[in-house]
Amino acid sequence: MKNQAKNSNNVLQTFWRLLIVFGLIFLVKCAEVPLTQRKSLHLMPQSQLLTLSLQQYSKVLKKSKLSRDRKKVLIVNRVGKRIAIAAEDFLEESGLGRQIRNYDWEFNLLEDDKVINAWCMPGGKVAVYTGILPIARNDTGLAVIIGHEVGHAIANHGNERMSQALLVSMGGMALSVALSEKPAHTRNLYMAAFGAGASVGILLPYSRLHESEADRIGLVLMARAGYDPREAVSFWGRMNKKAGPKPPEFLSTHPAPASRIAAIKVHISEAMPYYQRSRK
């Protein structure tokens, strides 16, 4: 009985020590999400994320088929660049411009009509798959997509998810150590954390909170870029129709509920002044 009580006390002490450690980590490593001002956990050094992003993005491009449809490629680049400028201006005005000062924006259209997806890695490395273009329909629909993905990026959702993944699946080891000891698994986790998991067979869905933040930030970005944020309702309606037994990757492995569109309708009022200003 004494040994059981002693073991129980040891387990309890270990639990509280870990809780204190993780609490201290959160206090030291927490960062603020633009617009929502939520505090989030970022254990990954930005310099390492940017380096890994360049490596992984390059690998994806080498393994993928780039679209040769000049018209579609031009549209992706045109919309992407306008969203990028809007993101930079938005962060500068919010006092968070330092977050993307090392970004080198790049937008590529990948030829795969079966993949309904798009993603953005740290450093401004964006990929859009041809499979999502019919749902986008036009520049404004594409602005909803890219605005949403850039929203994930500037909110550092990938860093937050990667931090959580390392804590849960790797005992909190540093990214450099994880890359050294489990390189393939760590790189796959990284790709999944930034929405490119379909290409590596790992599904790491964004949480509802992350999706809501990306929707809200994306509306502001597209509005600032001169695209009508009200069109987001129609776009997500079309995406919902595509959601069946196997939803598109862009829906983060689960169908977007009606509550998502309801929330978007609420946040449109926040974005509209930027759109109206851009039309003057």
Taking only the tens place, the pLDDT of each residue in 3-44 is 555 555 555 555 444 444 444 344 445 678 898 888 877 777
Sign of CA pseudo-dihedral 251, 216, 104, 157: negative
Q: Which domain holds residue 27?
A: 2-32
Does 171 lie in the same domain as 134?
A: yes
Q: Is there a single domain that holds both residue 137 and residue 15?
A: no
Mean pLDDT for 62-76 is: 97
70-79, 126-135, 168-177, 202-211, range with the lowest pLDDT? 168-177
Query: Is the same domain home to 26 and 47?
Result: no
**Six-digit token pair at 80?**
């992407």
d(CA 122, CA 149): 11
- C-alpha to C-alpha distance for 16 and 132, rounded to whole angstroms: 47
From the list 20, 29, 49, 58, the residue with the least C-alpha distance to 178 is 49
Same domain, 27 and 50: no
Residues 28 and 46 in one domain: no
Q: What is the pLDDT of residue 203?
A: 43
Statement: residue 155 has pLDDT above 60: yes
pLDDT at 197: 52
Residue type at 203? L
* Residues 16 and 137 both lie in one domain: no
- Report if residue 67 sits inside a domain: yes
- Rounded CA separation 29/257 (Å): 32
Task: Map residue 127 onto helix, strand or coil.
Answer: strand
Which residue in this structure is represented by tokens 């999502």?
A: 132
What single-letter DSSP state applies at residue 254?
A: S
Instruction: Please say whether the beta carbons of 76 and 121 come within 8 A.
Output: no
Query: 93 and 20 in one domain?
Result: no
Confidence band, pLDDT 50/70/90 cuts, at residue 52:
confident
Average confidence (pLDDT) over 214-239: 97
Question: Residues 204, 197: contact at Cβ < 8 Å?
Answer: yes
Residue 71 resides in a domain = yes
91, 208: one domain? yes
- Choice between 48 and 14, residue whose per-residue pLDDT is larger: 48
- Plot region of 138 (φ>0 → left; ψ -120 to 50 → alpha; else → beta): beta
Is residue 37 domain-resident? no
- Min mean pLDDT across 157-171, 218-232, 258-272 is at 157-171
Model pLDDT for residues 156-213, shown as the tens digit of each residue:
888 888 777 666 555 444 455 554 556 666 566 656 666 665 444 444 556 788 889 9
* Helix/strand/coil for 121: strand
Q: CB-based contacts of 55: which residues, under 8 Å, 6+ apart?
A: none
Q: Are strands 106-110 and 39-41 parallel, antiparallel or unpaired?
A: unpaired
- Which residues are paired to 119 by β-bridges? 127
Domain count, the chain: 2
**Tokens coding 125:** 């490395």
The reply to whether 142 and 179 lie within a common domain is yes
Measured torsion, CA atoms of residues 245, 249, 255, 260, in degrees rounded to the nearest 10: -170
Both 28 and 50 in one domain: the answer is: no
107 lies in a domain? Answer: yes
- For residue 121, the cross-strand partners are 125
In this prediction, residue 53 has a pLDDT band, given cuts at 50, 70 and 90, of confident
**In the 8-state DSSP scheme, what is residue 156?**
T
The phi, psi pair for 233, rounded to 5°, reads -65, -45
Same domain, residue pair 230 and 176: yes
